[in-house]
Amino acid sequence: MNPAKPSLELLRSLTDEHVLTALMRRRRMTRAELAIETGLSKPTMGESVRRLTDAGVVADTGERSVGGRGRGRVASYYALADDVGVALALSIAPEGIVAECVDAYGDNLARAEQKIDRPAQPDAVAVAVNAAVKRAGRQAARPARLAVVSAAGPVERATARLIKVPDQHFPLGELNPADLLASQVSGPIVVDNDVNWAAQAERDHHHDLRDFAYVFLGEGLGCAVVSDGQIRQGYAGTAGEISHLITIGPDGRATRLIDIFGDLDLRQTDSTAIDVDRLLTEATDEQAGAVVRQALGQAISGVLAAIVALTDPETVIIGGPWGSHPVILDAITAAATHLPRPVPIRAAELTTEASLVGARIDALARLRKSIITTAHEI
């Protein structure tokens, strides 16, 4: 084997990666601009652009720089080829289905929403997912290279199926998003639960966040544990399912967290899902609200005691439509001051579609990496 050959291939791969990274950042550039941006010589840059163009990863845009007498030579602008594809970010939640297509520049090319009936049925959700994904695909008019899915429910780590668990607020049985998307996505399909994606969005929003617990309090209940910057999913993928943790009930007795909302009459009709509107109305009532706030603060602080004891987070972030409400957050924080190991508690800063934001960020990173990997295989 020629020992120089692997070194030459590695050099070409690194050069191509620099070119692609620069184009993803700047969108369109001439060879001269690429040489300046990357610090590489013009001949090396020209060879890389030629190689990437021949491979169909980069394309001449047809645009030319201003040239002519006294202005230098006319130069061609290059950009990523349109057919390198997009990434699909998909949210499956009780509020409905949202499908977005993101290109390698980070632009959201398409967004399609599809409402679902309540209570949700797996077959109806599958139809809604297909409708939203197809509509987003038509808007983007580019092939989906990969997909990242946020699902409001526990996801089996080995199969990416949604897992049926007791008292699930959004019962989808064993719906498999990867199977639903297989005919519409050419590459890998990554599936995780919505709380994990929301925690990742919060992590990426604050680059110094490395060790924290993200507790979601909405129609459903969940927790994500981030350690050394990584989500801890557990053996099966169900780490952070806090609904059945034993905590302090309104009467002072030990009870499961999920049952407390039944005791307080804060569940939706014929469902274990929490009635968020009713909860907020009662908790913020000037006269009767103190009792509800105390019960919720006491119950959540008991859950936090278990989370802190087992995961040792630097801080606890509370998200969700009622968990991050200032009145309820104050009640939780006050009750948590009596914990054996109190930790800082604060509200999540990303409150709008946090899980979709997390999935979208991950989809963009995976798309860029996939394009660079393709160039390495040239």
Give 151-183 pLDDT, tens digit per residue. 998 898 888 888 887 777 776 777 899 999 999
Three-state secondary-structure class, residue 95: coil
CA pseudo-torsion sign 164, 320, 287, 252:
positive
Give the pLDDT of residue 72: 61
Give the pLDDT of residue 196: 97
Q: What CA dihedral angle connects 115, 217, 258 and 125, to 10 degrees?
A: 20
Amino acid of residue 86? V
Give the pLDDT of residue 1: 44
CA pseudo-torsion sign 51, 52, 58, 64:
negative
Per-residue CA distances from 203 to 41, 171, 188, 198, 309 (Å): 38, 28, 24, 9, 21
Per-residue CA distances from 147 to 91, 177, 238 (Å): 11, 10, 21
Q: Extract the residue ranges of the chain whose pLDDT is less than 50.
A: 1, 4
Q: How far apart are CA 213 and CA 227, in angstroms?
A: 9
Q: How far apart are CA 234 and CA 227, in angstroms?
A: 12
Q: How far apart are CA 114 and CA 99, in angstroms?
A: 9
* Reported pTM: 0.90
Amino acid of residue 312? D
E strands, the chain, where?
Answer: 58-64, 76-80, 86-93, 96-102, 108-114, 144-151, 189-193, 212-217, 221-227, 230-231, 246-248, 254-256, 315-319, 345-347
Give the pLDDT of residue 208: 85
